Amino acid sequence: MQGRVHTPTWPGVIEAYRAFLPVTPQTPIVTLLEGNTPLVESVRLGPRLGLRLFFKLESANPTGSFKDRGMTVAVSKALEARCRAVVCASTGNTAASAAAYAARAGLLCLIILPAEGVAQGKLVQVFAHGARLVAVEGGFDAALAVTREVSERLGLALVNSLNPHRLEGQKTAAFEICDALGSAPDLLALPVGNAGNITAYWRGFVEYHAGGRITSRPRMLGVQAAGAAPLVDGRPVERPQTVASAIRIGNPASWQGAVTAVRESNGRFTKVSDEAILAAQKQLAAEEGLLVEPASAAGLAGLQQMAAAQPFNGETAVCILTGHGLKDPESLLRAGALPAPVTPTFDAVRRVIEPMVG
């Protein structure tokens, strides 16, 4: 009998949703076959909240975060425009994605990072893909400001989410959710930092609704870390602080888009403590089998906070798990350390195991 030959059929988000995206037959497509990420139903945490809850594993994208959806479009367009290099500021994931897609395209990639607070795994990705790196003092907001100036004055393609092509690509995640469920969920929860992603999701739902593919749109729940919650507090935060380094942002670039998404969807912004974020991260790993970086657990922490105030009633919710846990090993190391080794004999191992398995 012949073995089964696996033929990959998913073509990446541009080919899958070409009609919705700003590409032409002339656009050279730079893709790592991003998208088509799993929508995994919660077995424990959702039912406990009174929700039919799904997790969208954006961590399953080629560079481990949702950024790849926008980067395939932004880098394809940069290549089409014959840019000589791409540039971005980042808390890490945008940098990792830009570095990978630029490598794929054969373009030079320049990354401007805040000196403190970029998780190790993301730095490793930037180095490995051969991007050029500048570290600047201060946080992400200052890095983004100088990056905008560099892009304008030196004529380099900016691939932060200020680049409209990024959000166009990212909206495809909303399409995938609707395609998988056959309808829009009642509620969509996601972490909010620079606010591009919530803006992009809402655009996706609005377009699918206008095109008759869904008959309702979800309420958008935008979750920020308590120490970096400008959209909840209604004003920029000078020195944002949170363990969730990906969303340590005090003055989001897509502020208006996020406010519109929440207002038009009858949703809300909320903020959660670092403790709640880390507890949700741990629960996802230990009770659902899903390892995410701290920022990615914020959506779940937000849903848990809402449920504590007012129980849900069987609604369908989707929680976006934006980035992989392996990107930020420091945040997870407190979970355990390698125990002292024992002799590799049955008796020695049994002595260790017995108290564990009871």
Give yes or no for residue 246 binding ligand F0G (CB under 6 A).
yes
Report the distance separating Cα 103 and Cα 281, nearest Å: 31
3-state secondary structure string across 3-61 = CCCCCCCCCCHHHHCHHHCCCCCCCCCCCCCCCCCCEEECCCHHHHHCCEEEEEEHHHC
Nearer to ligand F0G, 16 or 192 (CB): 192
| Nearest CB to ligand F0G, comparing residues 283 and 296 | 296
Q: Pick one of 322, 325, 331, 332: the residue that binds ligand F0G (CB under 6 A).
A: 322
Q: Which one of residues 35, 196, 204, 230 is an interface residue with ligand F0G (CB under 6 A)? A: 196
The whole-angstrom separation of Cα 328 and Cα 309 is 31
Burial environment of residue 334 by CB neighbours within 10 A (0 to 12, 13 to 18, 19 or more): exposed
Window contacting ligand F0G (CB under 6 A); options: 15-23, 27-35, 195-203, 271-279: 195-203
112 belongs to the binding site for ligand F0G (CB under 6 A)? no
Partner residues linked to 117 by β-bridges: none
CA atoms within 13 A on the CB side of 53: 25
Q: Does 272 bind ligand F0G (CB under 6 A)?
A: no
Residue nearest to ligand F0G (CB): 323
Give the nearest distance from C-beta 357 to ligand F0G in angstroms: 35
End-to-end CA distance of the chain: 45
Q: Which is nearer to ligand F0G, 94 or 331 (CB)?
A: 94
Q: How far is the CB of 340 from ligand F0G (least distance, A)?
A: 35
Residue 197 binding ligand F0G, by CB under 6 A: yes
Residue 247, classed as helix, strand or coil, is helix
Residue with tokens 């998404």: 261
- Is residue 204 a contact residue for ligand F0G (CB under 6 A)? no
Q: How far is the CB of 248 from ligand F0G (least distance, A)?
A: 9
Minimum distance from residue 137 beta carbon to ligand F0G (Å): 17
Q: Which stretch binds ligand F0G (CB under 6 A): 15-23, 193-201, 268-276, 333-341?
A: 193-201
- What residues does 110 pair with on adjacent strands? 87, 132
Nearer to ligand F0G, 45 or 88 (CB): 88
Taking the C-alpha atoms of residue 98 and residue 225, their distance in angstroms, rounded to an integer, is 25
Chain contacts with ligand F0G (rule: CB under 6 A)? 65, 90-94, 161, 191-197, 246-247, 293, 295-296, 322-323
